[in-house]
């Protein structure tokens, strides 16, 4: 099978591991820089080009789309979808997951526990906004933030108002969330593949840092999920129609709370912490999906 990893750099850990895992299972693996692709739209013959040649023969794609190129990346995925190429991440699911407010609304509608979250556009709503999440301390997040960037802990009412006013002054879109003090700067990343948690780690922030992101110097160790945490991680990925997802949650006094669902979760942290071969689980998922698709197609034509 010819499988393409959509990635801007073949040297990135996640890209390299996917290539290795695919080749070990006998597949023809290639890396396609989606930011350098261009597309031709015409009736019944949509094409994807890279350089001076058409991209052909691809049977499945594994999108690794950075947050800064979400729109263009989703467009490239959509072009492959039109050509009936299997993708581990749909263009629609990518767009939904990258919109923090929309994804939280979907999780809330699905009955999945999340921190109390408020959103407003008008500066006059600041007092009510703070009150809705229980007052300070509280967390303020840019809707476009990734890897802990654009996330601020405001420890007092005055600080919260100042930060919110500053973001409004920049015409930035933000959400305000309650601060889960009992999580103690720790969160859990559950890695979901094809409706099953294949690995989980607990991340802890460095001293004095409330964010637990590994990119911010945090540490990680393997963790055993409770039955409820496992179920919630799977349910959250399903609600956002993500077949591969990094589900981040906090342990609170009222149970696990989902803070984010990542549609292009990195492999380095989870594989290093757990020792599990997550890359191979992704390749196996593609194999199962393609095999099932072939069987259905044969059944439909009576072969």
Considering the domain architecture, whether residues 58 and 35 belong to the same structural domain is answered as yes
Give Rg (Cα) of the chain. Answer: 21
Give how many domains the chain has, as a whole number: 3
The span from the CA of 169 to the CA of 163, in Å, is: 10
140: domain range? 116-179
Q: Which of 128, 160, 179 is the last residue of a domain?
A: 179
Strand 2-6 to strand 28-32: parallel, antiparallel, or no bridges (unpaired)?
Answer: parallel
Considering the domain architecture, whether residues 250 and 201 belong to the same structural domain is answered as yes
**Is 264:257 a contact under the CB 8 Å cutoff?**
no
Residues with pLDDT less than 70, the chain: 145-148, 206-217, 294-303
The span from the CA of 116 to the CA of 233, in Å, is: 18
CATH number at residue 257: 3.30.470.20
Considering the domain architecture, whether residues 196 and 163 belong to the same structural domain is answered as no
What angle (nearest 5°) sits at the alpha carbon of residue 230, between those of residues 143 and 15? 60
Is the residue at 56 inside a domain?
yes
Give me the residues paired with residue 87 across strands: 61
HSE, CB side, 13 Å, CA atoms: give it for residue 47.
11
Q: What is the sign of the dihedral through the CA atoms of 234, 261, 91 and 87? A: negative
**Given this model, what pLDDT does residue 214 score?**
57
**Given this model, what pLDDT does residue 41 score?**
86
The span from the CA of 61 to the CA of 64, in Å, is: 9
Is the residue at 40 inside a domain?
yes
Strand 196-204 to strand 219-222: parallel, antiparallel, or no bridges (unpaired)?
Answer: antiparallel
- In tens, the pLDDT along 71-89 reads 999 999 999 999 999 999 9
**Given this model, what pLDDT does residue 219 score?**
84
Is the residue at 83 inside a domain?
yes
Helices (H), ranges, the chain: 13-24, 70-82, 91-98, 100-109, 126-132, 157-169, 227-239, 268-274, 278-300
Considering the domain architecture, whether residues 207 and 129 belong to the same structural domain is answered as no
Is the residue at 62 inside a domain?
yes
Share of the chain above pLDDT 90, in %: 74
**Is 241:96 a contact under the CB 8 Å cutoff?**
yes
- In tens, the pLDDT along 187-237 reads 999 999 999 999 999 998 766 556 655 555 578 999 999 999 999 999 999
Closest CA to 100 of 140, 52, 50: 140
Considering the domain architecture, whether residues 175 and 186 belong to the same structural domain is answered as no
Considering the domain architecture, whether residues 224 and 250 belong to the same structural domain is answered as yes
pTM for the model stands at: 0.89
CATH number at residue 75: 3.40.50.20
Considering the domain architecture, whether residues 130 and 67 belong to the same structural domain is answered as no
**Given this model, what pLDDT does residue 121 score?**
80
Q: How many CB atoms lie within 10 A of CB 24?
A: 13
């Amino acid at each position: 099978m010819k499988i393409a990893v959509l990635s801007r750099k073949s040297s990135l850990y996640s890209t390299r591991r996917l290539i290795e895992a695919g080749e070990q299972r006998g597949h023809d693996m290639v890396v396609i820089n989606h930011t350098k692709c261009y597309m031709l739209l015409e009736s019944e013959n949509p094409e994807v080009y890279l350089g001076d040649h058409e991209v052909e023969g691809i049977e499945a794609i594994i999108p690794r789309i950075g947050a800064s190129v979400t729109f263009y990346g989703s467009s490239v995925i959509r072009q492959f979808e039109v050509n009936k190429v299997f993708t581990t991440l749909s263009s629609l699911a990518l767009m939904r997951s990258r919109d923090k407010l929309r994804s939280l609304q979907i999780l809330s509608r699905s009955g999945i526990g999340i921190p109390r979250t408020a959103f407003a556009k008008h500066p006059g709503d600041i007092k009510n906004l703070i009150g809705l999440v229980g007052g300070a301390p509280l967390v303020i997040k840019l809707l476009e933030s990734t890897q802990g960037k654009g996330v601020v802990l405001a420890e007092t009412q005055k600080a919260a108002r100042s930060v919110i006013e500053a973001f409004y002054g920049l015409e930035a879109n933000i959400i305000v969330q309650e601060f889960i003090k009992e999580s103690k700067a720790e969160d859990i990343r559950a890695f979901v593949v094809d409706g099953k948690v294949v690995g989980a780690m607990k991340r802890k922030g460095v001293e004095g840092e409330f964010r637990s992101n590994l990119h911010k110097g945090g540490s990680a160790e393997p963790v055993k999920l409770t039955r409820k945490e496992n179920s919630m991680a799977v349910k959250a990925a399903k609600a956002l129609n993500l077949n591969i997802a990094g589900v981040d949650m906090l342990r609170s006094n009222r149970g696990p709370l989902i803070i984010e669902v990542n549609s292009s979760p990195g492999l380095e942290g989870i594989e290093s912490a757990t020792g599990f071969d997550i890359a191979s689980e992704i390749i196996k998922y593609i194999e199962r999906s393609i095999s099932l698709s072939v069987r259905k197609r044969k059944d439909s034509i009576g072969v």
